[in-house]
Amino acid sequence: MNGTGNIVALKPFPDAARLELDDAQLRTNLRRATHTIRDKRLRVVGEVDDWEQLRLSGAAIKDDVLARLPELLERFEEAATKAGAVVHWARDSAEACEIVTALVKETAAREVVKVKSMATQEIGLNEALEAAGIAATETDLAELIVQLAEDTPSHILVPAIHYNRSQIREIFLSKMPGVTRGLTDEPRALAEAARKHLRAKFLTATVGISGANFAIADTGTLVVVESEGNGRMCLTLPQTLISVVGIEKILPDFSSLDVFLQLLPRSSTGERMNPYTSMWTGVTPGDGPQTTHIVLIDNGRTATLSDEVGRQALRCIRCSACLNVCPVYERVGGHAYGSVYPGPIGAILSPQMTGDGANKTLPYASTLCGACFDACPVRINIPEVLVHLRQKGPKSRAEHAAFASISWIMRDRRRYAAALRAARRGSAPLRGRGPLRRLPWPASAWTVSRDLPLPPKESFREWWAKR
Amino acid sequence: MVGQAMNAREEILARVRAHRPSAPVTVPRDYLPDVAGIDVVEVLVDRLVDYKAGVHRASAASLAEVLGALVASSATVVVPPGLPPEWFTGPVVRDSADAPVSVGTLDAAGVTVVTGCAVAIAATGTLILDAAPDQGRRVLSLVPDHHVCVVWTDQIAGGVPAALARLADPSRPLTLISGPSATSDIELNRVEGVHGPRRLDVVIATR
């Protein structure tokens, strides 16, 4: 069953990318931000002597989880229930939104505060709540910027990465109540404005909504990794807490965090440790929310699991290191991918979670340079999956015919030599003008985004035979 | 609603069973069990300073004096139920299950909260609070703008695995704190001081 929600691209990647490439400011912002974080990541990863061993363990723990997922999900459900949480299951985004909306309605709350969460972005929860008359406030600074700007996130970790400080100031000035023209574009001043804006909401909210970075099967514990403390506010102050968690977030036991609490912060924000990590198990009397719900979602994850090569994408811990090193992401930004999961990981995750829309173009949104694989803390071989998805993907009849004839020619040495001779003879009048840049249809399908090199005067075999 | 939820559960589990990889996976654990060969106090101090936390040293005898100086300008000092009374000579507001301190009180200007911690991680500059009686409810170290945390030198582990192994019960509410609240959301530059306490002072004490 396919996933649904904000993971379906509406426009083919090349069309969406062309629009984004027109925005020079966007490219400047992205280049600056991705290079800053790349350098930070390299510095803090370099100081860990056993980084590669941690990566190998991290990848294997996640693979082990996928192999034992039914048992671990049942164990998690049992432990969390025993600790006082209520566990729900949702097949797709519509079902997940329905469950969460019903849970909020039960509390009679008209407002909820949200911790930054990819799962709730994926299922389009804010839109669903709004349709039910419930206002959801994003409390992560970057998510708040995107929400105020009525925009969509463009990065997994820093959804507002496409805005620079003065653009953020403009958004605050026009959309944040109580902000005056005296606000400067100093990051400190902007963060202070967000603190003031959200403080009252935190202290009065009765329902908090979160995702989770990890779910521990042994104990039923959920883990949220964050920076600002908005997460702690939402996880601690409301009476009711609803957490939306993908089924692949399971870890077998607490000691698995040995690995992931080292891999995640250094890979994502390039810090030795993120400022705050919260872990909670069901309900603790007298401390934090006294009603906790966990909504486990599939939404295309089991479809992804069915592909032997592609299922490694489910190891992803949403660190976004692959986005920050990707030459394609750096130029087009996150919106071109048309999914809440952009960049290299999005190019393999979105099309596997749902074959809908323009997602079939995403595996081509890459140069296959492999920087993403090197940066991935759980060793997802993204280039391998990209090539695999390209091979599996739909092909036009003309492409099939072209490759069938090339295959026929290349299977026989005489046919191949003859074809080369013919190509050289045919291209002789054009020689000396360098590679061809523009050809008429149907060859324009090739030259629209690539040069066509001309065959040389003689082949190596011919040169060798003459000596 | 319940019937439908059951169906979703069974359907998802059936799909996972049908699609999961068949071969069992062996997990290598060749990573280091601890960061060895470092002076844990020195490294912890270095990391905390890097995060822009205040760092202070004390002995068991001088602890009350050091804490007293840190809260000298605070309007109110809030402490968890089990914080040793001998740490403070002045008046404190003590949180308890019978008379929990309200969020409004904690949010007032000039409130400082003083807690202990369960374990600290030198390599990452992290304090772990596990809601034990000397640390109290999670809200105590969250809402006030100033958090003073006392770390005994024998509570400091080298690296993450060694620190997590020391926790008594991982199902208690756990909060890992690495420096004051911060954000990197504006041009990916770290700015300290968003929603959590904007000032974090760590007192490293020798028993």
| B119: CATH | 3.40.50.10420
Residue B26 lies in a domain: no
Please indicate if any CB of chain A lies within 8 Å of the CB of B98.
no
- For residues A320-343, average pLDDT: 96
Q: If contacts are CB pairs under 8 Å, which of residues 27-46 in chain B contact chain A?
A: 27-32
- Residue B67 inside a domain? The answer is yes
**DSSP result, B147-187:** EEEEEEGGGEESSHHHHHHH-S-TTS-EEEE-SS-EE-TTT
Q: Within a domain: residue A312?
A: no
Q: Confirm whether A350 is domain-assigned.
A: no
The verdict on A434 and A287 lying in the same domain is: no
CB–CB of A36 and B190 under 8 A? no
Say yes or no to pLDDT of B5 above 60.
no
pLDDT of residue B89: 82
At residue A285, φ and ψ (nearest 5 deg) are -55, 130
Q: In the predicted model, is pLDDT for residue B189 greater than 80?
A: no
Condensed to tens digits (0 to 9), the pLDDT of residues B61-120 reads 999 999 999 999 999 999 999 999 999 888 999 999 999 999 999 999 999 999 999 999
Residue B194: what pLDDT?
86
Residue A237 has pLDDT above 80, yes or no: yes
pLDDT the model gives residue B1: 45
| Model pLDDT, residue A321 | 97
- Which of the four pLDDT bands, split at 50, 70 and 90, describes residue A446? confident
**C-beta of residue A110 within 8 angstroms of C-beta of residue A160:** no
Q: Which residues of B touch A33 (CB under 8 A)?
A: 187-188
Confirm if A361 and A395 have CB atoms less than 8 A apart.
no
Number of domains in chain B: 1
Whether residues A67 and B23 touch (CB distance < 8 A) is answered with yes
CATH code, domain carrying A223:
3.40.50.10420
Residue B10 lies in a domain: no
CA–CA min distance A287, chain B (Å)? 5
Q: Tell me, what's the pLDDT at A431?
A: 78
Over residues A267-315, the pLDDT tens digits come to: 999 999 999 999 999 999 999 999 999 999 999 999 999 999 999 999 9
Query: Which among A102, A236, A273 has the least Cβ separation from residue B126?
Result: A273
Q: Which residues does chain B have within 8 Å of residue A219's beta carbon, measured at their own beta carbons?
A: 170-171
What is the predicted pLDDT for the residue at B6? 56
Residue B23, domain member (yes or no): no
Mean pLDDT of A19-25: 92
B124 in any annotated domain = yes
Q: Which of A278, A301, A324 is the last residue of a domain?
A: A301
Report the share of chain B in percent with pLDDT over 70: 97
What's A311's DSSP letter? G
Cβ-defined contact of A281 to B173 (cutoff 8 Å): yes
Is A373 a residue whose pLDDT tops 80? yes
Beta-carbon contacts below 8 Å between A and B: 250
ipTM of the complex: 0.95
Burial grade of A9 (CB within 10 A; 0-12, 13-18, 19 or more): buried
Q: What is the count of structural domains for chain A?
A: 2
Amino acid at site A140: D
Last residue of a domain, one of A301, A320, A340: A301
Q: Same domain, yes or no, for A297 and A418?
A: no
pLDDT at A236 over 60: yes
Q: Is residue A325 part of a domain?
A: no
Is residue B12, in this structure, part of any structural domain at all?
no
Kindly tell me if the per-residue pLDDT of B4 is higher than 60: no
The predicted pLDDT at position A399 comes to 84
Residue A159 predicted with pLDDT over 50: yes
Q: Which of these three, A261, A276, A301, is where a domain ends?
A: A301
Q: Is residue B1 part of a domain?
A: no
A336 found inside a domain: no
Q: Which of A145, A142, A147 is nearest to A129 (CA)?
A: A147
Contact between A250 and A64 (Cβ < 8 Å): no
pLDDT in tens, B20-57: 999 999 999 999 999 989 999 999 999 999 999 999 99
Question: Domain range for residue A145?
Answer: 13-301
Sign of the Cα pseudo-torsion (B173, B179, B182, B187, in order):
negative
Residue A400 inside a domain? The answer is: no
* pLDDT tens, residue by residue, B161-188: 999 999 999 999 999 999 998 888 888 7
B19 found inside a domain: no
Domain containing residue B49: 37-206
